[in-house]
Amino acid sequence: MAGLREVNGPLTRRQALQRLGLAGAAVPLVASILAACGEQETAPASAASTPAAPSTSESVEGLNRLPLPAVAPPVGGRDPQLVKVELETLEVEALIDDGVAYTFWTFNGTVPGPMIRVRQGDTVELTLKNNPNNKTPHNIDLHAVTGPGGGAKYTVVNPGGSATIRFKALNPGVYVYHCAVPPVPMHISSGMYGLIVVEPPGGLPPVDREFYVMQGDFYLDGQRGQPGRHSFSLEKCLAEQPDYVVFNGSVGSLTGERALQAKVGERVRIFFGNGGVNLTSSFHVIGEIFDRVALEAGSVWAENVQTTSVPPGGATIVEFTLEVPGDYVMVDHALGRLMKGASGVIHVEGPENPEVFEVVVPGVELHTGH
């Protein structure tokens, strides 16, 4: 399978794993998935289908991946109140892959944007500012809002401007927010999405750790993995042919030193959303079974779920208890997307648990390429 590619040829499985940040302990786990995909190079594209050249091949030295957004603290059992939220749209250049830069459009400089967390019955006063250094108008459509355009109609702001709306959080759940300025796919696919969590009265049940993860598909000019500075490709977006499908804004964003951390015996909760703009996610954690899943982040919970579907503009909550140490890889189980970046790691430390899992006779080492 043709995966992430260097300019001079296709990556081997080992190189792909390193690019994804999964080299080391997680290699045998993920390499077994990639092995079935093969390493053959795809046939050259025809002239009619060859993507446009990248906007510039200037050096990306000094650029980094975007910072990760924090998980907002639980609301708890408090009464409804007025909650003031301020978001600023920022257009920033950062790495989406090693050596590959992209101009992200963001809320507060992260992809996804900040988690907004309130309780049912709260009145939310939201101010949206558009940084004066930006070049484009932006707005916000919150799926938790009951009102025209989810607030988008009244929050269109030019660079240097601001707008404020108030809304009541009527329904508990986890909802996507995103920019809705035309062309809407361009704004969303450039990173303008996040989650707003509306907790029920009394709050959510306590857990040991909470994580915030969103999937997005990105469409760049040029070839996937081609070094340099890139811009958005409307043609690829309309054809639904993403170069990258990633968690939290970039390849390897939740791996290595940025991997999620937990301990054996802890119960974890993942707020998982799909910014899209096109692809449905089949969210799965390799080596775990979800104890509980809030289907489409609504009020109905399913138990003992292996994989859950999350549509573009949708979200879910998954909960499970960690019983065995090791690296647990989060994927979109449409596994071709693994080669486009859709992976993250939960690193679990603690004592072995042979009553649940043990190696009796190990198999051979999986060779992952050179």
230 is in an annotated binding site: no
347 is in an annotated binding site: no
pLDDT at residue 22, rounded to an integer: 60
pLDDT at residue 59, rounded to an integer: 81
| pLDDT tens, residue by residue, 267-279 | 999 999 999 999 9
370 is in an annotated binding site: no
37 is in an annotated binding site: no
- Residues of the chain scoring pLDDT < 50: 1-16, 19, 25, 32-33, 35-54, 369-370
| pLDDT tens, residue by residue, 198-250 | 999 999 999 999 999 999 999 999 999 999 999 999 999 999 999 999 999 99
333 is in an annotated binding site: yes
Specify if 248 maps to a domain: yes
Q: What CATH number does the domain containing 278 carry?
A: 2.60.40.420
Q: What is the rounded CA–CA span in Å between residue 321 and residue 299?
A: 21
Specify if 331 maps to a domain: yes
Specify if 31 maps to a domain: yes
pLDDT at residue 271, rounded to an integer: 99
Give the range of the structural domain holding residue 292, as residue numbers without chain letter. Answer: 5-52+234-349
pLDDT at residue 278, rounded to an integer: 98
Specify if 163 maps to a domain: no
Specify if 338 maps to a domain: yes
pLDDT at residue 154, rounded to an integer: 98
Specify if 269 maps to a domain: yes
Specify if 256 maps to a domain: yes
pLDDT at residue 365, rounded to an integer: 85
Specify if 135 maps to a domain: no
Q: What is the rounded CA–CA span in Å between residue 132 and residue 161?
A: 7
**What pTM was estimated for this model as a whole?**
0.87
CB 179 within 8 A of CB 138: yes
Q: Write the secondary structure of the chain as one string of H (helix), E (strand) and C (coil).
A: CCCCEECCEECCHHHHHHHCCCCCCCHHHHHHHHHCCCCCCCCCCCCCCCCCCCCECCCCCCCCCCCCCCCCCCCCCCCCCEEEEEEEEEEEEEEEECCEEEEEEEECCECCCCCEEEECCCEEEEEEEECCCCCCCECCEECCCCCHHHHHHHCCECCCCEEEEEEECCCCEEEEEECCCCCHHHHHHCCCEEEEEEECCCCCCCCCEEEEEEEEEECECCCCCCCEEECECHHHHHCCCCCEEEECCCCCCCCHHHCEEEECCCEEEEEEEEEECCCCEEEEECCCCEEEEEHHHCCCEEEEECEEEECCCEEEEEEEECCCCEEEEEEECCHHHHHHCCEEEEEEECCCCCCCCCCCCCCCCCCCCC
Q: How many structural domains compose the chain? A: 1
